[in-house]
Chains A and B, each alone.
Chain A
Amino acid sequence: MNYQSDDKGYYGIFGGAFIPEMMHQNIDQLQNSYLEIIGSESFKEEFKLLLTDYAGRPSPLYYSDRLSDHYNAHIYLKREDLNHTGSHKINNTIGQILLAKRLGKTRIIAETGAGQHGVATATVCARAGLECIVYMGAVDVARQSPNVEKMKMLGAEVRAVQSGSKTLKDATNEAIRDWINNPVDTHYIIGSVVGPHPYPDMVARFQSVISEEIRVQLKSKVGRETPDYVIACVGGGSNAAGAFYHFLNEPSVKLIAVEAAGKGVDTGESAATTQLGKPGILHGSRSLLMQTADGQVIEPYSISAGLDYPGIGPMHANLFTTQRAQFLSATDTEALEAALYLSQKEGIIPALESAHALAALNMIAFKPDDIVVVNVSGRGDKDMETFLNYYQSVK
């Protein structure tokens, strides 16, 4: 089975490029040039150097004694939280800024939910000396304010989006509209494995460094390259795509994707796309989508801004329908409890998004010799206010 996209950007029946004519020129240019650009020696060298010296890679693969004890398995944490800017998002933005430069673009736009992708984009734009505009839902501007301040300090303009549910979906709409209005000088750095072809494949390739490193690190630690489980949270799915990438064709590795159940999958306030969605088209690709019977997109809900999205990337829709990956979901409360647990047992405060992946440890019956890798996609600094509100309310 091939779990990668074909040359038209399809993963099984999902993917493609469903874009208005106004975006054709830019998407066509990307489709025709991305493999050649990112496959060139000069690109690979520069990308690698920046991942190492600027982002701080490789990120550690940390053996957690206490989680291992607790869950009675060998639990490793892939520490994407230790990257520069605090999450896996920097892997993608470094790749895309190098691409944008080679395409001669001078203006960068991005959408952001939790603000991690916004910060990672503002960061690489500062370094590259390019103008940066970040669209962020007004609700997210309020709940992730430390990241808004960071983006501003880095010199980016943050535009609060007032339409729809004022979260990630609407920020993405607004970024697409910006690109339609500025087709010549602008590159759109999409923050996840969503959007029209070639974005899902391109972003997955930039994030694939995560699983490339896991293989090497596991080999030196336990003598084999493949774990029994890889667990990652899924908003659009970029950290999961990166963590799964080099294991997709290793059937012995169980891939666990964890979605945000919000207040519960059946409460009407959830973002668990695979459980609530059906095939549909949003933001330029065909995937699974939370929608009404009439095809209107349903406003999702999650306490975690980075998972508050009504779709998932087409790669994941295909992993779900082919059952290559197992999809679980964690509620707001389960994630908050998992964040507190990791903080107090290991001294690591994870991002709320990553806490969903950690919560899944409670849902799986491991065998004692199982090797489990949890992708800690980011750190929790941005979520302190949400954490404090919750822990005070339950004390």
Chain B
Amino acid sequence: MENRITKLFTTKDKEILSIYFTAGYPDLNDTETIISELEKHGADLIEVGMPFSDPVADGVVIQQSSEIALDNGMTIHLLFEQLKEIRKHVSVPLILMGYLNPVMQFGIENFCKRCSEIGIDGTIIPDLPLEVYETEYKTIFEAYSVSNIFLITPQTSDERIRKIDGLSSGFIYMVSSSSTTGAKDAVDQEQLAYFERVSKMELRSKRLIGFGISDKHTFQRACSYANGAIIGSAFITAITGEGRIEGKVRQFMNKFES
């Protein structure tokens, strides 16, 4: 079957809105509802976070949602259970995002197999470095048609970006600044230079910008440098607190309607 991420980019390659949330947060069984509501209200792509006890690349918002999700009882096993039927009613690309250790304990091959059975299109595993992926895991991911998505940052050299471009099958995740997730978005000269540098490289892969995108304004600005952008911490903050989950998701997504 054609990978849904590739398909998405052939039908739309501007202003792609991707939303991240942590599975098991705010409530253990919100996963399917959040995904459905996000799709209904215009998300083009959804990243489902697999919570980890020690998320070193994450800022305080995702640290806290992860901690609560784990306290609620979220595991990779349970997440796959919750997502088992998801393809009956959801068609946007779904990506699982999380740290390597829980995936390793689940078993890499087993994990990829479950992804492919359920209809998960890709993974983002920040602490799985390119070199290890290439030598140890690439063949397994490819065998199950799971696209592993790599990050680049303002520090990443052109040479390395080229290499990542060559290995990417979904898109390239452009981390907007040198930071953990949820950092304040302040566009500075350095960041613009980085966006422009990467734009000029004419990569074969599509690019989404993430980290520090929080509202329509920052979203659109990011979109002028890439095919779209990813929102995480701001969405998690929006679904925190009182109220039904459907309403909170709708309210957040309404702000992006054009």
Contact B103 A295 (CB under 8 A): yes
A18 touches B54 (CB 8 A): no
Q: Is the CB of B56 within 8 A of A283?
A: yes
Q: Chain B residues near A291 (CB, 8 Å)?
A: 101, 105
Minimum CB–CB distance from A137 to chain B (whole Å) comes to: 13
Contacts A24-B156, A291-B105 given; does A18 touch B56 at CB 8 Å:
no
CA A176 – CA B127 in complex, angstroms? 12
Given contacts A177-B56, A180-B180, A296-B52, contact A289 B101 (CB under 8 A): yes
Question: Do A180 and B160 touch (CB < 8 A)?
Answer: no
CB <8 Å contact, B151 and A295: no
Which chain B residues border A295 with CB–CB below 8 Å?
Answer: 52, 76, 101-106
Q: With the chains together, A169 CA to B150 CA distance in Å?
A: 26
Asked if A22 meets B100 with Cβ closer than 8 Å, knowing A17-B129, A176-B56, A294-B75, the reply is no
B57 touches A20 (CB 8 A): yes
How far is it, in angstroms, between the C-alpha of A360 and the C-alpha of B52 when the chains are bound?
A: 35
Size bracket, chain B contacts: 35 or more
> Known contacts A25-B155, A173-B56, A296-B52: does B128 contact A18 (CB below 8 Å)?
yes
- A60 at interface, CB cutoff 8 A: no
Residues of A with C-beta under 8 A to B157:
25
- B179-214 residues at the A interface, CB under 8 angstroms: 179-180, 183
CB contacts under 8 Å to A, within B88-110, are 99-106
Closest-CB distance, A98 to chain B (whole angstroms): 24
Interface digits, B128-145 against A, CB 8 Å rule (1 contact, 0 not)? 111010000000000000
- In the complex the two chains form, is A20's CB within 8 Å of B54's CB? no
28 contacts between A and B (CB under 8 A): A19-B127, A20-B56, A20-B57, A20-B151, A21-B126, A22-B57, A22-B155, A22-B180, A163-B63, A163-B67, A164-B53, A164-B54, A169-B54, A183-B155, A280-B104, A280-B105, A281-B127, A283-B54, A283-B56, A291-B105, A293-B105, A294-B102, A294-B105, A295-B103, A295-B104, A296-B53, A296-B102, A297-B54
How far, in angstroms, from A169 to B101 measured CA to CA in the complex?
15
**Interface membership of chain A positions 127-165, coded 1 if the CB is closer than 8 angstroms to chain B and 0 otherwise:** 000000000000000000000000000000000000110
A182 CA to B155 CA, complexed, in Å = 11
Which of chain B's residues has its CB closest to A284's CB? B127
Least CB distance from A41 to B in Å reads 31
Complex formed: what's the CA distance from A348 to B32 in Å?
A: 62
Given A20-B126, A24-B129, A177-B56, CB of A282 within 8 Å of CB of B178: no
Contact for A294 among B57, B76, B129, CB less than 8 A: B76
Known: A181-B179, A282-B54, A283-B56. A21 touches B105 (CB 8 A): no
Nearest-CB residue, chain B, relative to A178:
B180
**Across-interface contacts of A18 in B (CB, < 8 A):** 100, 127-129, 132
B residues within 8 Å of A by Cβ?
Answer: 52-59, 63, 67, 70, 75-77, 99-106, 126-130, 132, 150-153, 155-157, 160, 175, 178-180, 183
The closest CB in chain A to the CB of B99 belongs to: A281
User: Does the CB pair A282–B101 fall under 8 Å?
Assistant: yes
A280 and B54 CA atoms in complex are apart in Å by 13
Residues of chain A within 8 A (CB-CB) of B58 are 177
Cβ of A314 within 8 Å of any chain B Cβ, yes or no, is no
CA gap between A280 and B104 in the complex, in Å: 8
A16 in the interface (beta carbon within 8 A): yes
Measured in the bound complex, the distance between the Cα atoms of B105 and A284 in whole Å is: 16
Task: Kindly list chain A residues whose C-beta atoms are within 8 Å of the C-beta of B153.
Answer: 21-22, 24-25
Asked whether A294 lies within 8 Å of B100 as measured between CB atoms, the reply is no
Beta-carbon contact of B183 and A181 below 8 Å: yes
* Min CB gap B42→A, angstroms: 29
Contact A19 B129, beta carbon cutoff 8 Å: yes
Q: Which of B56, B59, B103, B160 has the most CB of A within 10 A?
A: B56
Contact, CB under 8 Å: A20 / B127: yes
Q: Select which of A17, A180, A182, A296 is within 8 A of B56 by beta carbon.
A: A180
From B77, B127, B180, give the contact of A177 (CB < 8 A): B180
Bound complex: CA of A294 vs CA of B75, how far in Å? Answer: 6
